[in-house]
Amino acid sequence: MKIQPLINFEGKIICSPSKSYSHRAFFFSLLADTPSYVINPLISGDLAVTLDFCKSLGAKIEKSEEFKKSDLKVGKFPSDISETDSIYKIVPPLNLKQPIESLDGKNSGTSIRIITALIPLIPGQIKIGGIFFKLNRPLKPLLEALSSLETTWEYLDSETGIKINPRNSNTTEFKIRGDISSQFITGLLLLAPKLKSTPSNPNSIINLTTPMVSTPYLKLTEEIMKKFGISFQVDFNSESLMRYIIPADQKYQGKIIKIPGDYSSSAFIIAAAALNPFPSEVEISNLDPNSMQGDKVLIKIFKKMNADIKIDEQSQSVIIKGGNFLDGVKIDCKDIPDLFPILCVIGLFSNNNTILYNLNHVRTKESDRVSIMIRELKKMGAIINSIEDNNAIMIVGPQQIQGINIIHEDDHRIAMALTVAALFARSESTIVKPDIVNDSYPDFFKDLKSLGADIIGLS
């Protein structure tokens, strides 16, 4: 696929569904006692892995037109759901089943970490493989936390992945690092309410042993826990670190969950609109201003950088106008690892230097995003320096860049960020395996083209 330098950029699009909400909605529905309905979820890429995992554990998941119209007429669904919405029904199993075959988690960290956390509820050994293991992405801290339930595991070769054996499912205390991935804690939060109480302990406790990163993702998990009727308490332990107390023997109540638009995905379109040198307007709908998504902070970041951006709460839209010169700023990436790639691109074209810091955990996402973004942007001619013991980078701006052959290392957010950079290069760029964007934003290239991008080879 070829990407030509941008001439103009304007129009309206509907934001892609939230990847984070979709993962959680399906896994929570899997554990419920009654059916759930998930409205307008993302189902491609990493979500296809989650759907396969849920089905392998006994859930029945279907998209059906048969019940939609009749259910809407009798008021079964909320008034803001229409017949054009995509409705998935999830019928959970009475008890989780042992998968018959080894599961392929591909490179979906959320899918693999959550199903790993649910191992104590599964009656028997489970094997999980995928490129996740070839890339040595972190999982061991979660496995060590599960050892309090006498769970054992064995790493196989990088092709096969891991073999895990459950032991018991009683309440316990989990000790887990918070500075690697919030997905570890999300998985334990899903598990803990289903554990069995003991005479001496009616609760499970999740004790963090380090400060937390990506905290907003835990807030999102907490929000969905409440929707499914799960009670819990959050406070601080003796070391002033976060602690969860979760009563045992709880029942998840099947719910109707409407998936909001994804602020993480919208960041790429917002960036392209803000960088447009002409005062054209782009409107992105389906962005709830009250969403718990942590990457919603991108609105504040862009405002701080002098972008012309505003939220229309009534229409739940974000409106961006081009034509402004952006200012470089210093940005803490501790809670926003998914925004890092596009913030690098914004920094290229800002009036002064941009510093992005707290990057250690950004290196353990779908790829080492720090190293790859530095490599690819330097190929374009950018000047980027590592600082603060490689836990921060400084991007010198503004810069003129050249088109390149984009190598995204199978990381969807790097692919999208570098595509946006290519729109403002002085020559053509190419990208191989563009369908990697299906992991979070299947219509990314289609939306870019509808707004004015010249993309050759888009099917």
Task: For residues 393 and 401, give the distance between their C-alpha atoms in angstroms, rounded to a whole number.
Answer: 18
- In the chain, list all ranges with CATH 3.65.10.10: 2-14+260-456, 19-252
pLDDT higher than 80, residue 459: no
Report the helix count and the strand count for the chain, using DSSP H and E. Answer: 14, 24
Over range 241-256, report the average pLDDT.
96
Q: What is the pTM of this model?
A: 0.92
| Number of Cβ within a 10 Å radius of residue 448 | 24
Helix ranges (DSSP H) in 163-248: 182-191, 215-227
353 phi-psi bin (left φ>0, alpha ψ -120 to 50, beta other)? beta
Is the CATH code 3.40.1440.10 the one for domain 2-14+260-456?
Answer: no
State pLDDT tens for residues 147-204.
Answer: 999 999 999 876 679 999 998 999 999 999 999 999 999 999 999 999 999 988 999 9
Over range 272-277, report the average pLDDT.
96
Task: For residues 395 and 328, give the distance between their C-alpha atoms in angstroms, rounded to a whole number.
Answer: 9
State pLDDT tens for residues 73-131.
Answer: 555 666 677 777 899 999 999 999 999 899 999 999 999 999 999 999 999 999 999 99
CA distance readout (Å), 99 to 58, 62, 175: 8, 19, 28
Catalytic residue among 46, 262, 338, 439: 338
State pLDDT tens for residues 5-18.
Answer: 999 999 999 999 99
pLDDT higher than 60, residue 205: yes
249 catalytic? Reply is no
Q: Is 88:63 a contact under the CB 8 Å cutoff? A: yes
H helix or E strand, kind and range, residue 141: helix 140-146
Fold of the 19-252 domain? UDP-n-acetylglucosamine1-carboxyvinyl-transferase; Chain (3.65.10)
